[in-house]
Structure 1
Amino acid sequence: MSHEGNDILDADQLHTYYGKSHILHGVSLRVGAGEIVTLLGRNGAGKTTTLRSLMGLTPPRQGRIRLFGQDVTGWPPHRIAKLGVGYVPEGRKIFGHLTVHDNLRVPAATTGRWTLDTVYDLFPRLAERRTSKGGQLSGGEQEMLAIARALLLNPRFLILDEPSQGLAPVIVDEVMKTVVAMRDEGIAVLLVEQNAWLALRDADRAYVLGDGEVVHEGSAAELAADEERVKALAGASLDTSASAAAS
């Protein structure tokens, strides 16, 4: 069944390599308008490689990528971003020597709902810390800054890699509320998340990767209801105490 027309992302049979290592073996996934889709899997399953393939950072050698109905296979990352794709990579990649305010002025201004003022409204903590250097922020504040910076491009599609990594549960909750708010604003979201419980709670649909292949796809709620299956597929527990213990 084709969903084209309503699809923000339609990736078909991606094969991606690092040098001679064949990492992705025919990965296909789609994200519809106004949808949160999560990509789960054990460490080394190919989740980050999938995101890097979609962004043109590690272009697939085979397969096709369509964004907003347009074939973008082989496009460079800046051209993909310009279409309206915001990418928050693992590790956040903010500028530690710049203030919060200057970090937010790095993206070229675009017209739309997201401006410095609306981003500060969304993240009051960043407004309070606007003169602090990026390197002085807590992990949660850095994650907010990375998301805020992506929002200033007024994306129609937001790709997030491990937004909860290393954050305390209360901050993780705040970050995920923001992700849900993005969807409610009509932004489609593709979320890679180690914390399966967290991702499945807020997502509409889920894909699970295993050794560079999609081994499961379906409703996030249905997968969340089957804890044994999540453990088997994603190597993760749905128990939130696991994330609490890690923080």
Structure 2
Amino acid sequence: MNMVLEVENIHTYYGKSHILNGVSLKVGEGELVALLGRNGAGKTTTMRSVMGLTPPREGHVRLFGQDVTGTSASRIASMGVGYVPEGRKIFGHLTVHENLLVARETKGPWTIDTVYKLFPRLHERRTSKGGRLSGGEQEMLAIGRALLLNPKLLILDEPSQGLAPIIVQEVMRTVARMKSEGISVLLVEQNAFLALQLADRAYVLSEGEVAYDGPAAELSADTARMEHLAGVAHAA
């Protein structure tokens, strides 16, 4: 299997605080990989290290076989990486349509029209300001904006956070569809139960180190281990 993302023994700091201590992970072509862990385990810092927002001081990040350690986030995005950060980071003062226009649309199957077909609710709310959307609508908008890059790798940081159960199910169905269309997905998720239903493989972080690396189904079947390593959020 060709590797889309390879993170090798990275050490990342915030100031003097040593957050990631030798984290390694891989995402293969067409794979959906879950990154789990309790709050403060280092999941978001791992994503920021991959995206060049908080570059690691040691170790390497490779995308599509190319070493991108220390490369700017804009350069990494231009290589075909879509990133939906925790908290969504949409523009509250812009309309839904304007938020989508801000994204740099690239050649491929995903256009504003296809995003509207994926999320009809966004089409209905296209003239509404981003700040007036519900949490679920904001998540759809953030995912839609990332898809306009026509990414080969999509990184999602806590997409279910703060959403009603019925909306969580809709968002997760969308994530599953991304995988079915051949997009590699790295899913950072607090809801371990849901994430493991979708994932091929899983990593669990604990205090900035990898505590589990293996098949998602294996971890999902071992409830006691899953609770010990990552905490268990049961399906709604």
Q: TM-score, normalised by structure 1?
A: 0.94
1:142 maps to 138
Aligned pair 1:42/2:38, yes or no? yes
What pairs up with 1:96-245 in 2 under 5 angstroms?
Answer: 96-237=92-233, 239-240=234-235, 244=236
SS at match of 2:102: coil
Contact kept, 8 Å, 2:41 with 2:205, in 1: the verdict is: yes
Q: Pick from 4, 10, 24: which aligns with 1:8?
A: 4
Aligned CA RMSD, in angstroms, stands at: 0.8
Unpaired runs of 5+ residues, structure 1, are: none
Matches within 5 A, 1:18-57: 18-57=14-53
Partner of 1:24, secondary structure, is strand
Alpha-carbon distance in structure 1 between the residues aligned to 2:89 and 2:42: 20
What fraction of aligned residue pairs are identical, expressed as a percent? 72
Q: Please give the per-residue CA displacement for 1:77-105, whole angstroms capped at 9, x wherever unaligned.
A: 00000000000000000001111000000
User: Could you tell me how far apart the structure 2 residues matched to 1:170 and 1:85 are?
Assistant: 28
User: For the residues of structure 2 that align with 1:110 and 1:215, how far apart are their CA atoms?
Assistant: 37
Partner secondary structure for residue 182 of structure 2: coil
Residue 192 of structure 2 contacts residue 231 of structure 2 at CA under 8 Å; is this kept in 1? no
Q: TM-score, normalised by structure 2?
A: 0.98
Give the count of matched residue pairs.
236
Q: Which runs of 5+ in 2 are unaligned?
A: none
1:42-85 C-alpha deviation (Å, 9 max, x unpaired): 11100000000000000000001110111111101000000000
The offset of 1:139, in angstroms, is: 0.4
| Counterpart residue type for residue 104 of structure 1 | L
Cα deviation for residue 222 of structure 1 reads: 1.0
State how far apart, in whole Å, the 2-side matches of 1:147 and 1:231 are. Answer: 29
CA contact (8 A) 2:204 2:213 kept: yes
- Pairwise CA distance, 1:109: 2.2
Counterpart of 1:87 in structure 2 is 83
Q: Cα deviations across residues 133-182 of structure 1 (Å, max 9, x unaligned)?
A: 10111000000000000000111000000000000111011101111111
SS in 2 for 1:92: coil
In 2, distance between residues paired with 1:31 and 1:179?
A: 15
Structure 2 counterpart of 1:31, which letter? V
Aligned counterparts of 2:104 and 2:45: Cα–Cα separation in 1: 27
TM-superposed CA distance for 1:214, in Å, is 0.2
